[in-house]
Structure 1
Amino acid sequence: MSERILHSPLALAGAMLVSALLGAGAFAGLLSWMPGLAGPAIRGYLLEHPEVLPEAMDKLRAREDARYQQAQQGAQAAVPKHLAALQKPYAGAWAGNPNGDVTVVAFMDYACGYCRASLAGIEELIAKDPGVRVVYREFPVLGPESVVAARLALAAAEQGKFRAFHDALYAAGGPNAENIAAAADKAGLDKALATKASQSKAVEAEIVANHKLGEALAMTGTPSWVVGGKLLYGARDYAGLAAAVAEARAGK
């Protein structure tokens, strides 16, 4: 791309929009035979026809929406292949009925506010529906402290104290060192054992496996869910989770 386009914000914006409309290959071809004119020509055209800007943005947004929908459809189609792995908890990282007829898999990060907002819905679902099992998958994506917290949560699961640690850390706020230590104390963890376990190959393998599952299922953030065999993204309250569970039961 010519320096003139790069040094003009308006021309650069125009170039990006024209590229979106024509396709990168066609636009690159255009620049290859008129590099000296492309910048001024684009700027002049946009000044004379500013109405093309919202039109181009709408087309670009529609194209991105279509790609997102296609990715979601592909991810949903991949769920059956991974369902057994998704529904198998790590040690004690689960809640509800161990023999429940519907499993809710929750991918969460301790630094995620939307995950925290979904906790009340999970608790209400467990309290009101005795046929539900919840499997928690540690999915740290929001920084190093999230990874530390996820590792210790899995170590807590090995001691049968996952929920105690999980609930205490979310209640404490973000996963900084002070809050993680306080949650470990409140959960009654054997700290020496938990620290050692958090660095184990088993814990490392679990986190790696969860990220691979997240990649396979097009998860770009937390929380993400698999309810029965249906993939869901984003925060869910009790009504949303209950509806997904009911749909899963109806489909059996």
Structure 2
Amino acid sequence: MRTFLLVLALIAIAGFPFVSNWYYGRVKDAYAVSQTEKIVEEYIQRNPEKILESVNQYRLAQFEEQQKQKEQEINKLIAQHKSEVFDTNYPSFVAKNAKTVLVEFFDASCGYCKLASQILLKIKRDYPNVTYTLRNLPILGQSSLVAAKYDTGVFLFMKEKDIQNLKYSDFHSRLMAHDGVYTPEVITKILSEIDLDPQEVLKFVEQNESEISAMIEATIQLAQKLRLDGTPVFIVGDKIVQGVSEAGLREMLEKAS
């Protein structure tokens, strides 16, 4: 009896074109989905590397989009804190009639920053009409803090004594070239190498420690405002280059010129 009723139901469905089309469409769709799933499953089994490649491309695209959004956010933040970012009261090499200022956030203990320091020497030779400002951002511990303290202090000492920037440039280059922990003894050795009286300089640094500490703290706070999460970082105008990229720096300076 049940079989008979099912047969009648199927005959009835077939007799109504609209219902019939709907019914067979559902069956056809289910079959198509099943076949598609089977094809996809077979393809994955035969070509697993293609799936990994696709996943990696997707992740890379996501990362690049996130970096782009982050860069746009930082650009806005730079514009908001422009006067703080381009403050040449910090260690600077000021060019006459400079229209462009390049700011570097660095940690003297950072290996990438040491490499960037060498690149910056070449950049300075090729772009003499640019003002370069160095912001000590000691994020790698006590040794970095010692280096930041004396790098800032030596700059202020030379500024007060009206000593040419070449002396500070020499000190800074030797500081960045040092491979090891930074201590007052290391600073004393560097000062002696550039013919400055270590006792006079160290005394000046100790006497002005509160000002120096305030400058370093202000840089740390500024880095937090700009959401910087590492060193080195270079800023020109509202553009930023994170990490060591000579090509990126040159491109940024060319556009700013």
Q: Give TM-score, length-normalised by structure 1.
A: 0.67
Task: State the shift of 1:154 in Å.
Answer: 0.9
Give matches, 1:207-222, under 5 Å: 207-222=216-231
2:67, 2:253 → 1: CA distance? 25
Call closer, same or farther: CA 1:227–1:175 in 2, change over 3 Å. farther
Amino acid at match of 1:195: E
Q: Percent identity?
A: 24
Give matches, 1:29-40, under 5 Å: none
SS, match of residue 249 in structure 2: helix
Give matches, 1:112-191, under 5 Å: 112-160=110-158, 161-177=167-183, 178-187=185-194, 188=196, 189=198, 190-191=201-202
Q: For residues 80-111 of structure 1, what are the alpha-carbon distances to aligned partners after superposition, in whole Å with 9 as ceiling and x for unaligned?
A: 122222111235x1125143111110111110
Call closer, same or farther: CA 1:99–1:85 in 2, change over 3 Å. farther
Question: Residue 242 in 1 paired to residue 250 in 2?
Answer: yes
Task: Mark the runs of 5 or more structure 1 residues left unpaired by the alignment.
Answer: 1-50
1:86, 1:99 → 2: CA distance? 19
Contact 1:108–1:115 (Cα < 8 Å) also in 2: yes
Contact 1:152–1:195 (Cα < 8 Å) also in 2: no
Say how many residue pairs are matched: 195
Amino acid at match of 1:143: G
Contact 1:154–1:203 (Cα < 8 Å) also in 2: yes
Amino acid at match of 1:184: L
Task: Mark the runs of 5 or more structure 2 residues left unpaired by the alignment.
Answer: 1-47, 159-166
SS, match of residue 159 in structure 1: helix
Aligned-residue Cα RMSD (Å) equals 2.7
Structure of greater Rg: 2
SS, match of residue 107 in structure 1: strand
Contact 1:172–1:183 (Cα < 8 Å) also in 2: no
**4+ residue segments displaced more than 3 Å:** 54-69
Which residue of structure 1 lines up, in the alignment, with residue 75 of structure 2? 76
1:56, 1:126 → 2: CA distance? 42
SS, match of residue 81 in structure 2: helix
1:58, 1:243 → 2: CA distance? 27
Task: State the shift of 1:240 in Å.
Answer: 3.2
Q: Give TM-score, length-normalised by structure 2.
A: 0.66
SS, match of residue 230 in structure 2: coil
Task: State the shift of 1:233 in Å.
Answer: 0.5
Question: Residue 194 in 1 paired to residue 200 in 2?
Answer: no
2:154, 2:212 → 1: CA distance? 11
